[in-house]
Amino acid sequence: MSPSKLELNPSVKNILLLDSDGRRVAAKYFSDDWPTNSAKEAFEKLVFNKTQKTNARTEAEITMFENNIIVYKFVQDLHFFVTGSDDENELILSSVLQAFFDSVGLLLRGNVDKKEALENLDLILLCIDEIIDAGIILETTPNTIAGKVGSNSTESGAPLSEQTLSQALASAREHLARSLLK
Amino acid sequence: MAQPLIKKDDDRDDEDNYSPFLGIEKGAVLQEARVFNDPQLDARRCSQVITKLLYLLNQGETFTKVEATEVFFSVTKLFQSRDLGLRRMVYLIIKELSPSADEVIIVTSSLMKDMNSKTDMYRANAIRVLCRITDGTLLTQIERYLKQAIVDKNPVVASAALVSGIHLLQTNPEIVKRWSNEVQEAVQSRAALVQFHALALLHQIRQNDRLAVSKLVTSLTRGSVRSPLAQCLLIRYTSQVIRESGNITQSGERPFYDFLESCLRHKSEMVIFEAAKAITDLNGVTSRELTPAITVLQLFLSSSKPVLRFAAVRTLNKVAMTHPMAVTNCNIDMESLISDQNRSIATLAITTLLKTGNESSVDRLMKQITNFMSDIADEFKIVVVEAIRSLCLKFPLKYRSLMNFLSNILREEGGFDYKKAIVDSIVILIRDIPDAKESGLLHLCEFIEDCEFTYLSTQILHFLGIEGPKTLDPSKYIRYIYNRVHLENATVRASAVSTLAKFGASVDGLKPRIFVLLRRCLFDSDDEVRDRATLYLNTLGGDTEIDNDAKDFLFGSLDIPLVNLETSLKKYEPSEEAFDINLVPKEVKSQPLAEKKAPGKKPTGGLGAPPSGPPSTVDSYEKQLLSIPEFANFGKPFKSSAPVELTEAETEYAVNVVKHIFDTHVVFQYNCTNTIPEQLLEDVIVVVDASEAEEFSQVISKPLRSLPYDSPGQIFVAFEKPEGLPTSGKFSNILRFIVKEVDPTSGEAEDDGVEDEYQLEDLEVVAADYILKVGVSNFRNAWESMDPDSERVDEYGLGPREGLSEAVNTVITLLGMQPCEGTEVVPPNSRSHTCLLSGVFIGGVKVLVRLSFGLDGAKDVAMKLAVRSDDVTVSDAIHEIVASG
């Protein structure tokens, strides 16, 4: 499944979601460019350092290094990245980023921050899985993606009645703690 | 996109580090995974555990084979649960665990069941998982379902099957190719993504069949492709077809150009950009074809989206390299991008402007760039400096403002590479633009007053020593140079002493004052500095006229490669006989790296970094030859070629030959190796047939007594040839010998042998064998110092070639000369190129060649060849070589 054989097909090398310190929240690599975890971490660190000072909050930003094009967008304490090779159409990469960004927004119901993302990590991972399949763009419409991911979350998570007692207590405790600390 | 800015609680700091996975541990999670085996499955709990496992994998944790297998087996139990969410997570983790073939069997039936489920989500994901983990054998079983899925009315299912098909095509092409009909049907799908995936798969199935691809493109460019992504694909396929069909039709129309052009009016920016990019990438694109693409890219330049601006400016930057005029219309938009927040965009804009700018805009541009330079990284700055250098060479009249700019940025903070790029640029400007010399030298002087890089200081001092004395008022540089003697480290001080000496040697009026300064240097704390001062005081000696030897010593470039000098010096043993620099071989053995990297400067005497390369083997050949009495009266060999193999690799006997060229003789040295342990060869000779080399006549043949297994021996054959002429010829060779069987155990050879022959490949003596690769450090100076009357110029048509680069290399190989100043490298896409060569012709005649190549029409290369040499007949000889080559 080497990307070179698919050269004419638009392809994505990785999708990253980092926090405001550059730590990995979720990451998925589709190319062999970074064979080890340390190579991946080094790349993430580089990407983060290179982009952290830019303002990518209203519009997606873009940068280029090591023969890669990286499009990125930030919200709250979350940094979204999509990487492609330097001969890729920048706007295609940008549409993937937008799809990722907007679907996460829908799945987290607008509360897009690190805490919320980690608490719903299953949704984030499913979301990435629905956008890219081994480097090939699978879907880019946020509503469709969120629909495909969310169809189960509504079933398993929504009704409060199905929560176990301990879970209900835990969530109540959290709410109480928060209101007390205010 | 909604981004409600929630007012955060005051305890935000504590929450910052909050994570549901805090303190999570692999061992504990693997324990937790036992819940998968519970008879009463808690779907929610199981989902959570899978999420934890995925979290660990995502953070780079790895599972051992045993752990992975264990998790995989317990996960397969979860197919019992009907919970949709859990099933979704099960699919995900199976893909992450990538089970081995024997494990896959366990889940196959469950997945195949899901593939036929009524729930679309099950079908789509089961297909993706199964295709990811399956191998060929299983594929034939599920093929039927996959074909159905491709035309499934649910787009999610169809896409899943199509994308899986794209992956499977790499491993099981023969199976996937059978799905053509279904895939073709899917191309007509109303669902955008299905169409995109189907088109990608269809093209890949047919990619090796050019005609089929061409047909596919023809039919689709007329039809309606709805998905923007599919349209992008179609554009890529179309450009591929255009590239492969190669020719423009009689009417001058390029097939499919209309389609590309129509895509520029598509409603999706993605497609517009893809089409614009495709047009700019067309082979030999004309300005008329470019115009509409440039127009849309120009609109993108003022977009509010950084990605769009970046994409456009990057493409235009590329176009500017080959068609600068086409991009000039965008200059105004481009200028506003200099202040772009995104520094990548700003840099691309500036370098584009520098490529397209005209003379009148230079000053304004410089002003804008000055503000910009302070807030970009060094790597960007270097790009800008290089662009400015080429701009200055393009518009020499503007040197003043460009030089000012360079000197300003030279004063600012910056790393070594950045400073080096600036210094290199200034040096090149000084060399190529006479008017810029005075101001440029002064800028460099000011720079070394406060330069932290020893390498740059010494380079500049050396350069000052050469250029400074030629200026109107050389005395004004003395102060700067002498200051170095006070304030710098030993390396720079030594360099400054040499520079002072050069001023003293060239400017008589300054000599007494220089002497005073040099005498002071005799008390320096460093021995190198003292030694140099002593040496120069003695060389320039007293009040008498400085003789030519001293001048040569100071200014003559060292025409010996440093590597060769180094090896010769290492070999020299102290004795009565002094080291003779004239005995050092002058042949360049390897391409000196330094020359390529720093076109502005050449390594000098002992200061520059010596180019590294393998030690030359020439000396060992020479010793061998001289030890043979028969060859003693041939004189000193002029050149020894690199070994030429006369046998294929791994044959019974390995033979290569080295050609030694003497003034009136040629000696072939055959290096033979016997690779058969059971054989001993005796009385080995090479029978050379010189019937195709009329001007050569054989004089000596030195056979080899015996050639045992694996110990190389040499055979020499000498020919006489006309003196001093580049006589060429072709020789065929046969190895003749007596074979004796060798007993492998005792190693004893039998007494009786059999006569045998072995055919070797032919050998040629060509013109290049008579020319030594000897570089010069400054081609321009060397060229100008040669007698213009010796110049011979002519033009040649080289016929159609692959490209300029290929033509340049052919001529270099033909002449066997040393390319200078990195001119053997042809920049991509250039239509013309000048290559500088230098060498020494047989008889010790120095030759310089200036080659100007031009590309006319489609691929025809024309070449203008100008030769200067110490001997006019040699200039003519070079032309003859090229004319007959």
> In this structure, how many other beta carbons lie within 10 angstroms of the beta carbon of residue B16?
14
Predicted local distance difference test score (pLDDT) of residue A4: 38
> In this structure, how many other beta carbons lie within 10 angstroms of the beta carbon of residue B296?
19
Q: What is the ipTM for the molecules in this complex?
A: 0.84
Instruction: Kindly report the nearest CA distance between residue A58 and chain B, in angstroms.
Output: 9
Task: Please list every residue in chain A whose beta carbon sits closer than 8 Å to the beta carbon of residue B161.
Answer: none
Contact criterion met (CB < 8 Å) for A156 and B83: yes
Contact criterion met (CB < 8 Å) for B15 and A92: no
Q: Tell me the Cα Rg of chain A.
A: 18
Q: Are A1 and B133 in contact (CB under 8 A)?
A: no
Our CA angle for B852, B854, B855, nearest 5°, is: 160
State the Cα–Cα distance between residues A107 and B546, nearest whole angstrom. 87
Instruction: Kindly report the nearest CA distance between residue A173 and chain B, in angstroms.
Output: 15
| Choice between B316 and B549, residue whose per-residue pLDDT is larger | B316
Choose the closest CB to B92 out of A41, A102, A129.
A129
Contact criterion met (CB < 8 Å) for B3 and A112: yes
Residue B597 has pLDDT above 70, yes or no: no
Predicted local distance difference test score (pLDDT) of residue B432: 84
How many cross-chain Cβ pairs, A to B, lie less than 8 Å apart? Answer: 178
Residue B252's pLDDT band (boundaries 50, 70, 90)? low
Q: What share of chain B has pLDDT > 70, as a percent? A: 90
Instruction: For CA atoms B591, B592, B596, B599, give the dihedral sign.
Output: negative
Q: Are B630 and B718 in contact (CB under 8 A)?
A: yes
Predicted local distance difference test score (pLDDT) of residue B92: 94
Residue A131 has pLDDT above 90, yes or no: yes
| Choice between A177 and B536, residue whose per-residue pLDDT is larger | B536
Instruction: For CA atoms B574, B575, B581, B587, give the dihedral sign.
Output: negative
Residue B339's pLDDT band (boundaries 50, 70, 90)? confident
Question: What domains can you pick out in chain A, each with its CATH number?
Answer: 12-157 (3.30.450.60)
Say which range, A157-161, A168-172, B217-221, B433-437, has the weakest mean pLDDT: A157-161
Q: Are B848 and B867 in contact (CB under 8 A)?
A: yes
Residue B617's pLDDT band (boundaries 50, 70, 90)? low
Task: Please list every residue in chain B whose beta carbon sits closer than 8 Å to the beta carbon of residue A145.
Answer: none
- Interface test mutation site (partner B, options A6, A138, A141, max chain B beta carbons within 10 A): A138
Q: Per residue in B484-535, pLDDT tens?
A: 888 888 889 999 988 888 888 888 888 888 888 888 888 888 888 888 888 8
Predicted local distance difference test score (pLDDT) of residue B59: 93
Predicted local distance difference test score (pLDDT) of residue B314: 94
Please state, in angstroms and as integers, the Cα–Cα distance from residue B631 to each residue in A111, B634, B640, B683, B712, following that order.
Answer: 91, 5, 14, 21, 21
Instruction: Kindly report the nearest CA distance between residue A115 and chain B, in angstroms.
Output: 6
Q: In chain A, whose CA is at the least distance from the CA of B22? A: A118
Residue A68 φ then ψ, to 5°: -125, 145
Contact criterion met (CB < 8 Å) for B55 and A121: yes
Q: What is the DSSP string of B43-59?
A: HHHHHHHHHHHHHHHHT
Averaged pLDDT for residues B419-437: 88
Residue A43 has pLDDT above 70, yes or no: yes
Query: Which residues on neighbouring strands pair with residue B797, listed in sequence order?
Result: B862
Q: Is A49 on the interface with B (CB under 8 A)?
A: no
Q: Is A143 on the interface with B (CB under 8 A)?
A: no
Predicted local distance difference test score (pLDDT) of residue B873: 81
Say which range, B299-303, B442-446, B832-836, has the weakest mean pLDDT: B832-836
Predicted local distance difference test score (pLDDT) of residue A15: 97
Residue B13 has pLDDT above 80, yes or no: no
State the Cα–Cα distance between residues B430 and B719, nearest whole angstrom. 51
Q: Per residue in B810-831, pLDDT tens?
A: 888 888 888 887 787 777 677 7
Question: What domains can you pick out in chain B, each with its CATH number?
Answer: 250-357 (1.25.10.10), 621-765 (2.60.40.1480), 770-884 (3.30.310.10)
Q: Is A46 on the interface with B (CB under 8 A)?
A: no
Predicted local distance difference test score (pLDDT) of residue A150: 76
Q: Number of helices and strands (H, E) in chain B?
A: 38, 17
State the Cα–Cα distance between residues B414 and B588, nearest whole angstrom. 36
Q: In chain B, whose CA is at the least distance from the CA of A116? A: B19
| Choice between B485 and A91, residue whose per-residue pLDDT is larger | A91
Q: Per residue in A9-29, pLDDT tens?
A: 999 999 999 999 999 999 999
State the Cα–Cα distance between residues B435 and B395, nearest whole angstrom. 13
State the Cα–Cα distance between residues B426 and B441, nearest whole angstrom. 9
Q: Per residue in B833-857, pLDDT tens?
A: 888 888 888 877 888 888 888 877 6
Q: In chain A, whose CA is at the least distance from the CA of B303? A: A59
State the Cα–Cα distance between residues B44 and B36, nearest whole angstrom. 11
Averaged pLDDT for residues B238-243: 90
- Mean pLDDT, chain B, rounded, equals 83
Averaged pLDDT for residues A102-124: 93
Q: Which of residues 11-30 of A touch B (CB under 8 A)?
A: 24, 26-28
Predicted local distance difference test score (pLDDT) of residue A113: 92
State the Cα–Cα distance between residues A71 and B132, nearest whole angstrom. 28
Predicted local distance difference test score (pLDDT) of residue B610: 37
Residue B607's pLDDT band (boundaries 50, 70, 90)? very low
Q: Are A17 and A25 in contact (CB under 8 A)?
A: yes
Predicted local distance difference test score (pLDDT) of residue B611: 38
Q: Which two tokens stand for residue B724?
A: 């001093």
Q: Which two tokens stand for residue B255?
A: 């097939």
Q: Are A144 and A12 in contact (CB under 8 A)?
A: no
Residue B721's pLDDT band (boundaries 50, 70, 90)? confident
Ordered alpha helix ranges (H), B600-709: 618-626
Predicted local distance difference test score (pLDDT) of residue B301: 95
| Choice between B159 and B704, residue whose per-residue pLDDT is larger | B159
Q: Per residue in B26-74, pLDDT tens?
A: 999 999 999 999 888 899 999 999 999 999 999 999 999 899 999 999 9
Instruction: Kindly report the nearest CA distance between residue A134 and chain B, in angstroms.
Output: 8
Q: Which two tokens stand for residue B677?
A: 């342990």
Q: Per residue in B533-585, pLDDT tens?
A: 888 888 777 555 556 666 666 666 666 777 777 877 887 777 777 777 777 76
Residue B5's pLDDT band (boundaries 50, 70, 90)? very low
| Choice between A41 and B814, residue whose per-residue pLDDT is larger | A41
Residue A156's pLDDT band (boundaries 50, 70, 90)? very low
Instruction: For CA atoms B791, B840, B590, B566, give the dihedral sign.
Output: negative
Predicted local distance difference test score (pLDDT) of residue B594: 37
Q: Tell me the Cα Rg of chain B.
A: 37
Predicted local distance difference test score (pLDDT) of residue B264: 95
Chain centroid, CA B564 distance in Å: 27
Say which range, A165-174, B127-136, B694-703, B793-802, has the weakest mean pLDDT: A165-174
Predicted local distance difference test score (pLDDT) of residue B485: 85
Q: Are B156 and B120 in contact (CB under 8 A)?
A: yes
